[in-house]
Amino acid sequence: MVFPAKYPQLNDTSLTDDARSVLIRVLRVAFPHDSFPDGPYERTADTIMKAAEESTWFRVSLTQGLLTLAHLAGGDFRDLDEDAATSVLRRIESTEFFGFIRRTTVLNLYDNEDVWEAVGYEGSSYEKGGYVNRGFDDLHWLPEPRIETYDGGPIVEIAPSFLLRPTNGSSGTHASGESRAAANIDTNTQPGATSAEHAEVSK
Amino acid sequence: MTALEQSDEAIVIIGSGAGGGTLAYELTKRGIPVVLLEAGPYLRNEDYVNNEWEAFNQMAWLDPRTTSGSWRIARDFPNLPSWIVKAVGGTTTHWSGATPRFKAHEFATRSTYGRIAGANLLDWPITLAEMEPYYDKAEIAMGSTHVHGRKPLPANNNYKVFANGAERVGYRHYSTGPYATNAEEYDGRPASIQDGFNFQGDKHGSKWSTLVRELPRALATGLLDLRPESHVVQITHNAAGRVDAVLYLDAEGNLQRQAASMVAVAGNSIETPRLLLMSASPMFPDGLANSSGQVGRNYMRHTTGSVYARFEEPVRMYRGETMAGVIADESRHDPDRGFAGGYYLETISLGPAFLASFADPGAWGRDFTKILDSYANTAGLWVIGEDLPQETNRITLNSAVTDRHGLPVPNVHFDDHPNDIAMREHGYRQAELLYEAVGSIGAHRAPPYPSTHNMGTSRMSEKPEDGVVDKWGRAHDVPNLFVSDGSVFTTGAAANPTLTIVALAIRQAEYIAEQLKSGGI
């Protein structure tokens, strides 16, 4: 195995087929979907390798990362089972190498019809007339709910328990806009004495 | 379309979204000519695509921005603090449509909630009673369902899970709206075909936006000079301290000057303060209209979070209107829950591409992939509540990073207030209980997305020392400068902001028209 050169200008390390195959295994372990065929992972690996071609920094970190995975794996990373391979990836998850793979995968793996079909998403719908006649309301395992506004009276906007509290000022009396003008309101935002109820929150 | 001379002093509006687009229509329909500068391109409904990333790259404001603070966005999406639109129609082309009103006490939070440490609460200089007629006008303009005789939208699959869960945990104030998308033909626009791509622009034109309503009507008056791809760099002023022109970059990057008799800024709550700060001058050294020091401060983004719950049976949440489901029971003020203010629960859905990116940024492994594996059987909702204004949550100019024009980018600093955290936790818990009540077999808490609701960076105040604009959105310091977007929000309330932005813009247009007539501007 050839390690990348020390100086970027000397580094024309190209990612080999072997490296690509390790990368595909990394993707399978980091983003395991039992229902996904190999296609989406291969596609995503190629996207990552193409992105790496365009950035020296990503290329060297990707190349170096894929080569040295074997060191942590104590052999070929591809030979590890999912649990062992996941443990190896957990150890490197904060590296630039893994971050680059993770970000690029999240952005690309799930942005394709091959994956949408596997997870049950139908993609673009406008040209098919939307879902108005194609099941936007076909859920039948729950009763039909009310869609109208509740007719049992308006919402209580300020909790009665708050309004009933003893206050020595105007706090909590503004259930309607009109009452504001009449009350002598403390709107001071500066530190100092205040007659307002202190609705302090602690968590 | 009438082209106005650049040397003629015009009424200039910056931004064509909920605030700017509405103001442009309300002024032109009264016979007042307007130059409307929009930073983004003129996309039409037919240009939109039913694909999450493609639409995002087509519509979103992607100019570089930086972030700081303890919010998770600064780690996960350091250059994408907000998810808003750069195109004609602004973020009304991306919004989903929920239109609850503010409550009376939400215009008076300082006197209702009292003093809360770390929060820069202030009462609005206006009341719900003053706003009610304008809320009516805005709801009629936008075609909000459930009010003014507009039919409710039908229950989609995601709503059926949401509403049944709501009923079983004892909530009563749930429904499929109010929601500004047509359930049946209205105002010359068709009924929704439930295509599920609300965030991607709505190809059908059933959803209200200034792109489909206010802007075409303003253009039809012959009095609107709409200039897309015009990115404003600075507002200049004369020796009397009145604004006299706007400098902007055209599509080719050439600097243009439009003389102005009046300027209204509606660039959303990051670009609006950025522009005021970039307009600093010897007379206004801290930025235009910033004698209070409040320009850029009190940035609010709503306390949000999503819960995605898994079921044994299919849900297919992506089919149909994304946010046509609202629960208002938790929108009350009830400090016994452990926080001030309230929140709504609203249905939400993301496709696999966006769910993978936003469900738990940075995550991988089986815990992560099972979120996607359960996609077809997943129901989703969004917690959206009032976050508290803090002076230190603010937009500043980052002079170390410039955009492609060489202009300083805005930095967005945000820390959650303890009240925000307590509210989010409560919302997550209630959402999980709601879904458990209808049989969920697991749920995932997704953190806040890049901000879609941006508010409060040029706030309204009674006194000039407390805020940037008065109760009409008129700058305290500069008589012919207005702010016309969500930046003017004194506090954020629990409700989605668009309806209130539109209502304020209608009200502001009435005031500006009167003032122009009486020589008050």
H or E, element range at B399: strand B394-402
Instruction: For residue B152, list chain A residues with Cβ-Cβ distance below 8 A.
Output: 147-149
Residue A30 lies in a domain: yes
- What is the least distance, in Å, from the CA of A3 to any CA of chain B? 28
Residue A179 lies in a domain: yes
Residues β-bridged to residue B98? B179
Q: Is residue A174 located within the same domain as residue A106?
A: no
Instruction: For residue A162, list chain B residues with Cβ-Cβ distance below 8 A.
Output: 333-336
**A 36-95 near B (Cβ less than 8 A):** 86, 89, 93
Residue A198 lies in a domain: no
Q: Hunting for tokens 């302090």 — which residue is that?
A: A200
Q: Please tell me the least confidently modeled range out of A136-150, A179-193, B283-297.
A: A179-193
Residue A134 lies in a domain: no
Q: Is residue A106 located within the same domain as residue A17?
A: yes
Residue A143 lies in a domain: no
Q: Is residue A176 located within the same domain as residue A106?
A: no
Q: Report the alpha-carbon distance of residue B43 to residue B90 in Å, rounded.
A: 10
**B 403-462 near A (Cβ less than 8 A):** 418-419, 421-422, 425, 438, 462
pLDDT at A174: 43
Pick the closest to residue B301 from B406, B383, B183 (CA basis): B383
**B 211-270 near A (Cβ less than 8 A):** none
Q: Is residue A26 located within the same domain as residue A86?
A: yes
Q: Report the alpha-carbon distance of residue B288 to residue B241 in Å, rounded.
A: 10
DSSP structural state of residue B405: T
Q: Is residue A10 located within the same domain as residue A100?
A: yes
Q: Report the alpha-carbon distance of residue A102 to residue A93 in Å, rounded.
A: 9
With an 8 Å Cβ cutoff, is A156 touching chain B? yes
Instruction: For residue A142, list chain B residues with Cβ-Cβ distance below 8 A.
Output: 160-161, 164, 438
pLDDT at A201: 54
Q: Is residue A168 located within the same domain as residue A81?
A: no
Phi, psi torsion values for B160, nearest 5 degrees: -60, -40
Question: Smallest Cβ distance to B157: which of A115, A138, A172?
Answer: A138
Q: Report the alpha-carbon distance of residue A132 to residue B196 in Å, rounded.
A: 10
Q: Would you place residue B1 in the very low, low, confident or very high pLDDT band (cuts 50, 70, 90)?
A: low
| Cβ contact A145–B155 (<8 Å) | yes
Residue A70 lies in a domain: yes
Residues β-bridged to residue B455? B300
Rounded to whole angstroms, the maximal C-alpha distance in chain A is: 83
Query: Is residue B178 reached through a cis peptide bond, with omega within 30 degrees of 0 on the bond before it?
Result: yes
Q: Would you place residue A173 in the very low, low, confident or very high pLDDT band (cuts 50, 70, 90)?
A: very low
Residues β-bridged to residue B402? B408
Q: Report the alpha-carbon distance of residue B409 to residue B439 in Å, rounded.
A: 47
Pick the closest to residue B274 from B227, B301, B229, B234 (CA basis): B234
User: Could you please report the per-residue DSSP string of A117-174?
Assistant: HHHT-----GGGTTTTTTTTT---SSPPPP-SPP-S----SB-HHHHTS--SSSTT--
Q: Report the alpha-carbon distance of residue B399 to residue B312 in Å, rounded.
A: 53
User: Could you please report the per-residue DSSP string of A25-70?
Assistant: HHHHHHS--TT--HHHHHHHHHHHHHHHHT-HHHHHHHHHHHHHHH
Q: Hunting for tokens 């859920």 — which residue is that?
A: A139
For residue B201, pLDDT beyond 80? yes
| Cβ contact A32–B369 (<8 Å) | yes
CB B236, CB B246: distance < 8 Å: yes
How many secondary structure helices (H) and strands (E) does chain B include?
A: 12, 16
With an 8 Å Cβ cutoff, is B290 touching chain A? no
What's the rounded mean pLDDT across residues B6-12?
94
Residue B376 burial by Cβ neighbours in a 10 Å radius (0-12, 13-18, 19+): middle
Structural domain count, chain A: 2
pLDDT at B5: 83
pLDDT at A195: 41
Looking at chain B, the whole-number percentage of residues with pLDDT higher than 70 is 100
DSSP structural state of residue B360: S
Residue of B195, B360, B388, B419 to mutate when probing chain A, most A C-beta within 10 A: B195
| Cβ contact A162–B336 (<8 Å) | yes
Q: Is residue A16 located within the same domain as residue A105?
A: yes
pLDDT at A163: 78
Per residue in B86-136, pLDDT (tens digit) is 999 999 999 999 999 999 999 999 999 999 999 999 999 999 999 999 999
- What is the least distance, in Å, from the CA of A12 to any CA of chain B? 30
Q: Residue B171 has which token pair?
A: 């909530």
What strands, in cross-sheet order, belong to the sheet with B326-327?
B174-175, B326-327, B343-347, B378-385, B303-310, B442-446
Residue of B51, B54, B113, B461 to mutate when probing chain A, most A C-beta within 10 A: B113
- What is the least distance, in Å, from the CA of A57 to any CA of chain B? 20
Per residue in B24-39, pLDDT (tens digit) is 999 999 999 999 999 9
Q: Residue B313 has which token pair?
A: 């049976």
Q: Is residue A103 located within the same domain as residue A9?
A: yes
SS3 B450: coil
Q: Is residue A18 located within the same domain as residue A102?
A: yes
Residue A190 lies in a domain: no
- What is the least distance, in Å, from the CA of A22 to any CA of chain B? 17
pLDDT at A14: 64
Q: Would you place residue A9 in the very low, low, confident or very high pLDDT band (cuts 50, 70, 90)?
A: very low
Q: Would you place residue A17 in the very low, low, confident or very high pLDDT band (cuts 50, 70, 90)?
A: confident
DSSP structural state of residue B381: E
How many residues are given for chain B? 521
For residue A168, pLDDT beyond 60? no
Q: Is residue A15 located within the same domain as residue A86?
A: yes
Q: Please report, to the nearest 10 degrees, the dihedral formed by the alpha carbons of residues B315, B321, B327, B331 taken in order.
A: 140
* CA B5 and chain centroid, separation: 32
Residue A142 lies in a domain: no
Residue A18 is part of which domain span?
4-111
Per residue in A51-99, pLDDT (tens digit) is 998 888 998 899 889 988 989 999 999 999 999 999 999 999 999 999 9
- What is the least distance, in Å, from the CA of B173 to any CA of chain A? 5
H or E, element range at B358: helix B352-358
Looking at chain B, the whole-number percentage of residues with pLDDT higher than 90 is 98
Q: Report the alpha-carbon distance of residue B393 to residue B118 in Å, rounded.
A: 11
pLDDT at A170: 44
**Boundary of a domain, candidates A55, A79, A111:** A111
Q: Is residue A177 located within the same domain as residue A93?
A: no
Pick the closest to residue B20 from B367, B519, B504, B352 (CA basis): B504
What's the rounded mean pLDDT across residues B470-496?
98
SS3 B131: helix
For residue A203, pLDDT beyond 60? no
Q: Report the alpha-carbon distance of residue B236 to residue B231 in Å, rounded.
A: 15
Q: Is residue A93 located within the same domain as residue A169?
A: no
